Amino acid sequence: MDNDQNIRIPEKGMAQSEVLELLRSYKKEDINYKDSKNWSLVYYLGEEHTRFLIEAFSSFFSENALNPMAFKSLKRFEHEVVRMTANLLNGDSNVVGTMTSGGTESCLLPVMTYRDLAASQRSFRAKKPEMIAPESVHVAWEKAARYFGVKMVHAPLRSDLRVDVDAVKKLINKNTILLVGSAPSYPHGVIDPLAELGALALEHRLPFHVDSCLGGFLLPFVEKLGHRVPPFDFRIPGVTSISADLHKYGYSAKGASVLLYRNMKYLRHQFFVYENWPGGIFISPALLGTRPGGAIAAAWAAMKVLGMNGYLDLAQKVMQTTAALQDGIRSIPGLEILSDPEMSVFAYQSSSKKINIYAVGDQMEAKGWQVDRLQRPAALHAMVTPLHERIIDEFIADLKQSVEKVRNDPSLAAKGNAALYGMIARVPLRGLVKKEVLKMMEKIYGPDMIMPY
């Protein structure tokens, strides 16, 4: 990227064809998710489904769900999406909710909601409100805690990477306003002991949120297929809210998520109303003011066109592909799957001192795969989608070659991203890591947009 301080709106508008060609040319630098070599970020079902979503989205491209009275169609779509999701997650007729812009918003809002609920019931003036969540909880909850002035209290994990409920119980105090569990956790793909957490929540009269952004539109179908899935939804006494992302395994367009509450007693604290603005009374159900109509319409359309049978078929394909990939990884000497994941998200690590797993990741990227890295412990991460079915053999063959190359050349651990991730993992003062990452972000988002590679 050139350090050009003279980037301005052109004096004369460019031709549409020229601008579209520029868009296509710049896109060439992005990951090519259509070849299924990515393991995160995109839940692609192929061109036919994508074209359908684009048409549904574009049909409501300019509509704004800020005012449900102006665009009653969008309010209908949102209501039906919420009801379909509530029924899928075994909620009764009292379950209410809203659509949001994605998983992050669906994690931010419960923290604000339960903070305000607690403040309406008792005073927290002397001490900061606290929420208790597993160490493995999605990082969006850390952002929520920071944004809304709630102290994040981490509960340690058991050896199976699920949260330690006994530890959670010991952490509860008079300042606790919320318990959180994952279904599943993003790093490891495991479901926390949610029934036990629900019992704790009831015992201490605390709200309990299940973060199922990742699993909410897959686990119900995995369960129907007969896989081992512990209770994770409103069947659990004590669960007061659940988040589930439609733009993940709901196969909708970004960004679309659903946030459900057991009843209006909770949701009412999420609403924002300001009655003294000169512009009129302002009402907002979620974080955003303007709410893009296209995402809401496309989410409704995806659920309608796929139907329960379609979701079930896709879930079967995902789980069969996941099993084949895991079997392939286990067949490679020196690799092992972390824990015992319940669905299609998992991590794998090195079981040999001779194999640096980050170096394996570098070799896989050299072969065209987009690979995510985990830390604590060092591992590589996979989020399986239906179209990964077609690349199982290619992936396992490339992974086997990459492992052998790293095993035979230990110097690879000191090169490229392997060296970077290894160094970061060894830094004892995590504040130093944060400081360096902030510097990197300043370069990326500074006036010259300097990318760190």
Percent of the chain with pLDDT over 90: 71
Output 5 or 349, whichever has higher pLDDT.
349
Asked whether residue 28 is domain-assigned, the answer is: no
Q: Is the pLDDT of residue 100 over 90?
A: yes
Q: Which two tokens stand for residue 313?
A: 């078929």
Output 418 or 427, whichever has higher pLDDT.
418
Please give the Cα distance from 325 to 85 (Å, whole number).
Answer: 30
Per-residue model confidence (pLDDT) at position 420 = 63
CATH number of the CATH domain containing 167 = 3.40.640.10
Mean pLDDT, residues 393-407: 97
pLDDT tier at 436, thresholds 50, 70, 90 = low
Domain around 68: 58-304
Minimum mean pLDDT among 18-32, 178-192, 306-320, 358-372: which range?
Answer: 18-32
**Domain count across the chain:** 1
Q: What is the DSSP letter of 371?
A: -
pLDDT tens figures, 72-83: 899 999 999 999
Asked whether residue 312 is domain-assigned, the answer is: no
Helix axes 293-330, 72-88, angle to 10 degrees: 30
Q: Which two tokens stand for residue 127?
A: 């001490």
What contacts 203, CB < 8 A, 6 or more positions away? none
Asked whether residue 437 is domain-assigned, the answer is: no
Per-residue model confidence (pLDDT) at position 422 = 61
What contacts 194, CB < 8 A, 6 or more positions away? 181, 183, 210, 230, 231, 232, 236, 239
Asked whether residue 404 is domain-assigned, the answer is: no
Asked whether residue 227 is domain-assigned, the answer is: yes
pLDDT tier at 71, thresholds 50, 70, 90 = confident
Per-residue model confidence (pLDDT) at position 121 = 84
Q: Is the pLDDT of residue 432 over 90?
A: no
What contacts 382, CB < 8 A, 6 or more positions away? 39, 325, 345, 346, 347, 348
Q: Is the pLDDT of residue 425 over 80?
A: no
pLDDT tier at 376, thresholds 50, 70, 90 = confident
pLDDT tens figures, 359-375: 999 999 999 999 999 98
Q: Is the pLDDT of residue 383 over 80?
A: yes
Query: How big is the chain, counted in residues?
Result: 453
What contacts 307, CB < 8 A, 6 or more positions away? none
Per-residue model confidence (pLDDT) at position 281 = 78
Asked whether residue 116 is domain-assigned, the answer is: yes
Please give the Cα distance from 333 to 350 (Å, whole number).
Answer: 9
Q: Which two tokens stand for residue 258?
A: 């659903």
Mean pLDDT, residues 161-174: 97
Mean pLDDT, residues 194-221: 97
Per-residue model confidence (pLDDT) at position 18 = 93
